[in-house]
Amino acid sequence: MAVNVGLDIGSSSVRAVAIDAGKSQPVLRKVGEVQLPEGAVAAGEIIDGAAIVDAIKELWRKHRLPKKRVVVGVANQRVVVRQVDVPLMGEAELRDALPFQVQEYMPMSVEEAILDHVGIDEFTTPEGEPMQAILAVAAHRSMVQDFLDVTTSAGLNVIAVDLQAFALVRSLIPQPVSGIAVLVDIGAEITQVVLVSGLTPRFVRIIQTGGSAFTDTLIEGLNLEFAAAEQLKRRIGISVDDDVSAASGDETEDEVAQSLLTAEAGRFIEEIRGSVNFFLSQGEGGPVSKVIVAGNGARLPHLANRLGRALDAPVEPARVLSHLSTGKLSDEVVAPLQPVLPVPVGLALWSPE
C-alpha cells in the first residue's frame, strides 16, 4: 500500500505525518511541524492562504514528505454533523438519496454543501419499516475549496478531505470500546468532542473555544503580554480541587492567575459535559467508559483530571504510538508530540472503503 500523508492545518501550525499502513502494524515514516503566522487560520478556517501555502511548502521541503497521497482534515463551524434516521438502502442508493434525506436537518442548502455519512446501525420501526441511523456530515463547499486551494497551490495531490473528528476515532480507538468513549481534542481555538461506541462515532460537536481562551483570560485579568500569559498558564495550570476559595484581595499573582484559569476551566468543562449529557439523554448508549484527551490544550496542568471527574470516568492522554510502529524515527523525538498527533495520524490512516 502506498504511503499516505495526513495534513492538519491548525490555528498556530501545520503538521503532517506520513504513514505506511500496508504492514501488519502501521508504520510512522515521517512527522513534521511548521509554525504559522498569527491570523493565517482563525477558528479552523483559512484566512491567509498565501501564508499557509508557504508554510506547507516549507514543511514538505524540511521533512521531505511525499506529495502524491495527501489527506487534509477540516473542523470548524462551517461543518455540521447530525444523526439522521433514513430508510434502509444500499450504499450507492443512499449516496444518491442523501441530499433529500438530510436537507431538513441541515442549516445550509445541500446545493452549497459537500455531504458525507457514516453508518451507525440498523433497526425496524414499530410499523415494520427497516431503517438505518447514520451520522450525516455537511461541509460548506466554499470552505472545503479553500483547503483544496492551499494544498494544491503547494504542489500536493489531495486524495481526500476528511472530518478531523473521524480521524480522531481512527487514531485513538484502534479496538472497539465498551460503553461510550469521549474523545476531546483541545486545539488553540477549536475543541472537538467525539462520542464513540464500539468503533463508530455517534456524536460530534465542534466548540469554538480552546487553549487560547485560557491564555486570553490571563491577558485580560492580569494585563499580561501573550508570551507571559502563555508561560504562566502552562506553569501553574488550574486548581486541583473542585472548590476554589473566594478572592480575599491578598493573593499573589500566581494565585489570582490560577483562580482565573480555574473559572475558565469550569465554563469550558460545562460545555463538554452538556454535550455528553445531551447525547446520553437521547438513550443512545452509555455509560461513559473513558475519556481520552488530545491537543496542545490538554497539556494544561490538572485540566484533564478535572474533566474526568466532571464526566465521572477515567481519563487518559492520547497514545497513538501504542498501535503504531515508529520505524526509523526516534521515540524520544516522537513521544513528546503525542498530544498533537491524533488528527494527522488519523488522516493518514484514511482509506476509501
Three-state SS sequence of 111-165: HHEEEEEEEEEEEECCCCCEEEEEEEEEEEHHHHHHHHHHHHHCCCCEEEEEEHH
Per-residue pLDDT of the chain (353 residues; tens, 9 = 90+): 578 999 999 999 999 999 998 777 899 999 999 999 999 999 999 999 999 999 999 999 999 999 999 999 999 999 999 999 999 999 999 999 999 999 998 989 999 999 999 999 999 999 999 999 999 999 999 999 999 999 999 999 999 999 999 999 999 999 999 999 999 999 999 999 999 999 999 999 999 999 999 999 999 999 999 999 999 999 999 998 765 555 556 689 999 999 999 999 999 999 999 999 999 998 777 799 999 999 999 999 999 999 999 999 999 999 998 888 888 888 788 888 889 999 999 999 999 87
b/e per residue 69-104 (b: at least 16 CB within 10 A): bbbbbbbbebbbbbbbebeeeeeeebeeebeebbee
Using one digit for the tens of pLDDT, what is the confidence trace for 8-45? 999 999 999 999 987 778 999 999 999 999 999 999 99
DSSP 182-211: EEEEE-SS-EEEEEEEETEEEEEEEES--H
Residue 39: φ, ψ to 5° = 90, -5
Exposed, middle or buried, 261 (CB in 10 Å: 0-12/13-18/19+)?
buried
Distance (Å, rounded) from C-alpha 178 to C-alpha 309? 19
Distance (Å, rounded) from C-alpha 169 to C-alpha 181? 10
What cell numbers appear for 110 in the block?
445541500
Residue 75: φ, ψ to 5° = -160, 105
With respect to CATH, is domain 79-140 assigned 3.30.310?
A: no
Nearest to 18 by CA among 329, 264, 301: 329
Question: pTM, whole model, 2 decimals?
Answer: 0.94
The rounded Cα 324 to chain-centroid distance in angstroms is: 19
DSSP state of 296: G
Q: Are 298 and 317 in contact (CB under 8 A)?
A: yes
Residue-level length of the chain = 353
- Find all residues with CB under 8 Å of 187, minimum gap 6, and list them: 10, 11, 44, 210, 211, 295, 296, 297
